[in-house]
Amino acid sequence: MRERAVGHRMAAFLLWMVLLVLCWPLALLALLLFPVVWLLLLPFRVVGIVTRSALALLAAVLLLPARLLGAR
């Protein structure tokens, strides 16, 4: 999994370098806007984490009687 993340980052970096060579103003604009977009999307990421955690808790509570009775 980590190798895929490294490959993804390398591909993103190489695409950014190609964009820098072909159209440097757009590449610099993307570089400057990336933190702003990341900050704008941060609440949605938090909502996703909270939703996934709440659903996992609900599943654990609903499946607890079956686990206590020995179902596997």
pLDDT per position as a tens digit, 33-72: 999 999 999 999 999 999 999 999 999 999 988 888 886 6
Entry pTM: 0.58
Whole-number Å distance between alpha carbons of 26 and 24? 5
DSSP assignments along the chain, one per residue: -HHHHHHHHHHHHHHHHHHHHH-HHHHHHHHHHHHHHHHHHHHHHHHHHHHHHHHHHHHHHHHHHHHHTT--
- What are the sequence ranges of the domains in the chain? 2-68
**Residue 51 pLDDT:** 98
